[in-house]
Structure 1
């Protein structure tokens, strides 16, 4: 019995070997298909090349370059801190006495002045950069943005009704007062005023990856799944310019004192910030969506410039004469003034991206920047005036030397939305 079982086992083994090697009768191979189990040689070849490999130039990484370069263009819709000024033009109801005409605490109301340049502004921003290696450990990025110039303008002409005046604080009487632009039977004229502002900034920075997780994927896919945190170190520049211009063109209606007057005041400020910058950028990506969170802090020097000028041209019929000084700009504060101040410039930003294709991403974001020390044109106006300085100046002169100049600084912010496209290659 034991011998019979041994012969049976030997037969089964021989039969199995014959089936595996596929005998020519085809009986068993027809039953299981035409592709038998792989041979030892084919298994060895599979182990030598277990899976197709992606080339390095076929890899896509989150939030930046698919390989080495990226560029982003954005349309900006921002608002900025307004330009604060004292009341620059005023009026009073018809019938107001000459002494009270345009005087702010005697029924006068402001026609122009206050918080100017508060409308939203359009602009543009570009960012471009490259990674300095295959593993995206280090990179460099440049940025520039500018907002369109914004302006507020005012113009009025009157032969006397309505009343038009320029209010100020009288240093001799220590009370509110005004200079008449138009008043019945006394003077007629035109008053024009305009405020302008411009803003631009640029920077360049190194990117140093602190940590990242996730895997690169094929360029043929629009989906991402990765997280990274980058340290930013670089340089930042910002320029903020303001100007405030005023002009009166007056004609006397007094038969005993005829003549014309052309009076101008000008206040100009410039702020140029240069400094080092440090920051963090966190990028989270899932499928087609990317969230980019940014915080930067620049610290350095802001050079502040203030320019004040004014003049008066009087023609009494004997020929025009030009005098230094207008109304708010007199010899006591006219000049160019410059100083340097240490300043901080923080920035925060959040951008949501949606992958349109492997190389193109649509972006929507919010940004806020703040410069803590700037000079603005309206802040440099000293509305306390000694009337004895008004051209032609009283000789001999008496009274306080007002208006005077003193640097007055404040903070400046700019914030708003961005809409753009990012391209990577």
Structure 2
């Protein structure tokens, strides 16, 4: 019987702790240092993730935006849907930013956690110089970076904000050219996206090995002390996700859609449990649509547009997680991020959440983009791999619930009367 990926990662995590404690930094076998093996395997896994960034993000954003813009969908329904997705994603990010600034999981006893987590403090020294002395006026630079003078150079140098902006424009105007050319372009980018999804799924099969190597390397160097800040980070993310799931979304359902939030929780229970167990909003989509239509009473017209679009571009939980993870890593390196840099994180988290594939652990790719944008080493992502799987399950449930709330809210705004009513209340 094949063991599911999340169980493989959990087993790898346990074995990594044991191996790191047993071998330390000096353990050898046939003259080969275990620590060197951990470093090699961990670096190889991170390089594989970084290899996916440019083609995956560009192809997913272009096909997603082209899908919205095609077929006359950018009308009233499309505008409402996109507005809802942007507002809720931004709200989720701000909740995450508030929580991580308030709790400061990357600070232990008043000092950066990087030292006890065996981080290379020199790797981030250049970032401290870069961000020091900035003010709110530096936000202008963010918008300038959105328009790269050379798109190929931007891709080569990891300037993802410009690539994302270019992809948004390309996807939109791709639907404004003559049909034969538009279809050929769409088929090309959709084909590239499908290939990148397959490669991402293949790379994630090696996630247990990557987790083992990265965690074993940290434990070999610092022992179990490294898990204290990681536990605080874990509960910081959970608290932020719970706030969005239990407070923000019900308030929208109650006061904007005018429906009973508890009824919607009951209606969506099967889809939420499936999302939690699979960590994939794409895999859960058929069940999400079934629950929203049959249990919540939203029309097929609204459901068939809002939910597939949401599975592509609406990732509230993912955007929140990306923001908290980037801030946690910056705190662990001892870097104080000013308003301009935090605004950069918020902006990129919002934009990259559009391009995150709806498969397990795909947000790891997006986090590397944020780290690169603020100058932190991508290797720092190894800090959060140990707890990423459980958080992935939680944030996927938030993603799916937000999509379903969007369908309910937009259905009500479109004048639908029988949404989330009991049998005796339904109107004919």
TM-score range, shorter chain: under 0.3
Normalising by structure 1, what TM-score? 0.21
Q: Which one has a larger percent strand, Structure 1 or Structure 2? A: 1
Q: Which one has a larger percent helix, Structure 1 or Structure 2? A: 2
Higher relative contact order (CA 8 A, sep 6+): 2
Q: Which entry has the higher C-alpha Rg, 1 or 2?
A: 1
